[in-house]
Amino acid sequence: DGLWRARLWRVGQLDDVLAEAMTLARLAAKGADGPAGRAAGRGTRYSLAEVLPRVNHARLLAVRAEIRRQVNLLNVAERVLNNDALPAAEVCGEIRTGEEATRALRQLAGLLDGAALGKPLLRARILRLMAMISETFAAQIAAPALPSCLSEVAAAVAVSFEPCRLPRPAAILHDQVVWVTTPVRIDFAGGWSDTPPICTERGGTVLNAAVTLNGLYPVQVMAKLNTAGCIRLSSIDLGERKEIRTTAELLDHHDPHDWAALAKAALILAGISPSRREEPLAKWLKALGGGLDLTIFSSLPKGSGMGTSSILGAAVIACLDRVLGVPFNTDRLIRMTSILEQRMCTGGGWQDQVGGIMPGVKLIRTQPGPDQTVSLRWTVFDMSEGSELKQRCLLYFTGQKRMARNILQNVVSGYLARDPAILRTVEALKVSALATKEALDAQDISGFAAGVARYWELKKSIDPGSTNAPIEALLASVSRETEAALLPGAGGGGFIFMIAKSAAASERIRASFEAHPPNAHARFFDFDVDRQGLKVTVL
């Protein structure tokens, strides 16, 4: 009870208490602890028992919080460097004034010019934080012009890519045609964990299937040499044609709404054309053999959610590689397709192209790092005639289209901002993919359905834009008949994959949707698991 009752604690005006404390400290340093020390310490003192009832605890906590806030704002750059999981929203929430925002931005700009040089993913995080601060205090500060954080993500993906510097001759004859066919993919679990920079920093785990639709390969690409001295692009499904004669035309490939953007970017990546504007395209085409006709075909609409864009990109690169005689290499093709997506500013991950390039139903995993080399583990998915999965699984095109780019940008921006909910969801996606694969290994269809249902909830959690009112209405209309349902890919439209509770329930769902389609484009597709994957043929 002695210390509790001992009157040790000086109480008074702040200036008086500090002056007395400093005097006592000086006297103690000189060894003057006699009468002078006692005289200096005669201010009013209380014991803890007397002080605590008098303390304004709310004010004390508020002062401590304010001191902590001020210290945090003095060390924004250091905190970003030392805490990879620091939420950007937490930093923004600590800033109260335009002046504080300006000081924080100045610290972060110094980080970009210093410790973050040559570290594109760190730079992407910093730029995302700077953008959030600038947006929050736009009315109070002159916000600096900032590059896109997504451009730094693209730089990270392309770290190990070296563009071709010299033109090369074709490895096919003028009367030969290179023909590439490929399935599309349905993702059952783990999507988003494959998206840069998530996979680059944390590794990815995805379970998906290569599928044919209505018995056909939905994506096909053909290439043939010509003598016209130009590149002629054609899209069979869109009915579009374009003739290209300059390097500048090919370098204009960043608009995802341009139907030819993918082909133009692939021609540069594959080394058919130069990557530098000052080099004439005619010189490269002459070395190739005169010119090139490139024809692309996709039987699915853009925004279908079946990985069509990435898979078409992989097919184009594989086709052009064969034109140049580049040996087929799966790892290279996956990496080049990821770079292609980033160059087009669509920013997709690797699961789409792996899903189409490699056959069957497989668990795809990568380790953290810029080189996302995949490891594969196949599982059983019996779609033979009369099998339970064949009878219960349905694939329905909703007639709604949405570009995955918008959803991708939302998720990647949230991840770069280190949104705690997104970080938790990413880990849950990977764990769920492993569990869903194990259910298929055990031929546990109910367990597989539970994994698919869990995946759909995680998709909606990581980005609410994955669904919308019309989609939810469609799903609700058959919820009593389904054990699980999801929208493949980024969601927001496209296809619905459903697992009915029984074969009879599957027939009732089909009858209901066929009798009352939500629009003129909605329809069922028969699908089967493909056992071949991407195939390159020379005719």
pLDDT tens digits, residue range 355-405?
Answer: 999 999 999 999 998 878 899 999 999 888 889 999 999 999 999 876 555
Helices then strands, counting H and E runs in the chain, come out as 23, 17
**Omega within 30 of 0 (cis) for the link into 197:** yes
For residue 396, what are the β-bridge partners?
496, 524
**Cβ-contact 69, 62 below 8 angstroms:** no
Q: Is the pLDDT of residue 38 over 70?
A: no
Cα–Cα nearest to 8, from 49, 40, 58, 61: 49
Q: Is the pLDDT of residue 444 over 90?
A: yes
Cα–Cα nearest to 481, from 457, 525, 512: 512
Q: Is the pLDDT of residue 56 over 90?
A: no
Four-point Cα dihedral 40, 44, 49, 55, nearest 10: -110
Over residues 101-126, the mean pLDDT reads 94
For residue 527, what are the β-bridge partners?
213
Q: Tokens 């954080």 — which residue? A: 149
Predicted local distance difference test score (pLDDT) of residue 34: 61
For residue 293, what are the β-bridge partners?
224, 232
Cα–Cα nearest to 195, from 394, 342, 62: 342
**Cβ-contact 196, 346 below 8 angstroms:** no
For residue 295, what are the β-bridge partners?
222, 234
Q: Is the pLDDT of residue 67 over 90?
A: yes
Residue 108 has which token pair?
Answer: 């972060």
Residue 285 backbone dihedrals phi, psi, to 5 degrees: -70, -35
Mean pLDDT of the chain: 91
| Amino acid at position 507, single letter | E
Four-point Cα dihedral 325, 239, 357, 224, nearest 10: -10
Q: Which pLDDT band holds residue 41 (cuts at 50, 70, 90)?
A: low
Residue 350 backbone dihedrals phi, psi, to 5 degrees: -95, -10
- Residue 91 or residue 338, greater confidence: 91
Cα–Cα nearest to 466, from 414, 424, 502: 414
For residue 167, give Cα distances in angstroms to 36, 84, 285, 295: 91, 43, 8, 22
Q: Which pLDDT band holds residue 347 (cuts at 50, 70, 90)?
A: low
Residue 180 has which token pair?
Answer: 């590439």
Delimit the domains of the chain by residue range. Answer: 2-46, 57-147, 178-538
Over residues 321-338, the mean pLDDT reads 91
Residue 287 has which token pair?
Answer: 């070395």
Query: Biggest alpha carbon distance in the chain?
Result: 110
Residue 484 has which token pair?
Answer: 């699980």
Q: Tokens 């594989």 — which residue? A: 318
CATH of 178-538, one of 3.40.50.620, 3.30.230.120, 2.40.10.480, 2.60.120.10: 3.30.230.120
Q: What is the pLDDT of residues 227-272, one digit of tens each?
A: 999 999 999 999 999 999 999 999 988 777 788 999 999 999 999 9
Alpha helix segments (H runs only) across 358-495 = 388-392, 404-416, 420-441, 445-462, 469-477
Task: Compute CA 64 distance to the chain's CA centroid, rounded to the nearest angstrom.
Answer: 39
Q: What is the pLDDT of residues 409-433, one digit of tens each?
A: 888 999 999 999 999 999 999 999 9
Distance separating alpha carbons of residues 132 and 321, to the nearest angstrom: 42
Predicted local distance difference test score (pLDDT) of residue 415: 95
